[in-house]
């Protein structure tokens, strides 16, 4: 239920976001007559802020493809990103390390499990 309300709000704000972006450019473009009015920079900044608040941002990739196991002189092992749980607001991602070398396997078993939490903003 909460996710549907969030999606409805985001869909309703999309036209206002585009309007705010266009209005910000109108008050900021050097050839526009509105640029030379008093408080034009502040009005443009306000519209730009409204655009950024209503804009939908994509989640960036983690980009972890390999890690070093066994200290500074260790071995590079491949990492595969596996989505364990997929919910509307979040994903639980597991980074699985793969190697066939016995020394690296022993070092990986001694290492602790780490939970990485991406910041929310």
Give me the residue spans of the domains in the chain: 6-54, 66-110
The predicted structure's pLDDT at residue 9: 87
CB 87 within 8 A of CB 97: no
The predicted structure's pLDDT at residue 75: 86
The predicted structure's pLDDT at residue 79: 93
- Block mean pLDDT (10 aa), the chain, length 121: 82 91 93 92 94 84 87 85 85 89 86 78 48
The predicted structure's pLDDT at residue 23: 93
The predicted structure's pLDDT at residue 120: 62
The predicted structure's pLDDT at residue 118: 72
């Amino acid at each position: 239920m909460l996710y549907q309300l969030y999606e409805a709000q985001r869909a309703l704000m999309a036209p206002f976001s585009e309007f705010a972006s266009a209005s910000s450019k109108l008050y900021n473009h050097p050839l526009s007559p509105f640029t030379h009015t008093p408080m034009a920079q502040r009005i443009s900044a306000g519209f730009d802020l409204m655009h950024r608040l209503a804009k939908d941002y994509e989640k960036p990739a983690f980009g972890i493809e390999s890690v070093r196991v066994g200290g500074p002189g260790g071995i590079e092992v491949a990492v595969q990103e596996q989505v364990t749980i997929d919910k509307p607001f979040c994903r639980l991602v597991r980074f699985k390390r793969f190697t066939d070398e016995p020394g690296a396997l022993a070092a990986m078993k001694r290492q602790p499990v780490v939970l990485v939490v991406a910041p929310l903003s």
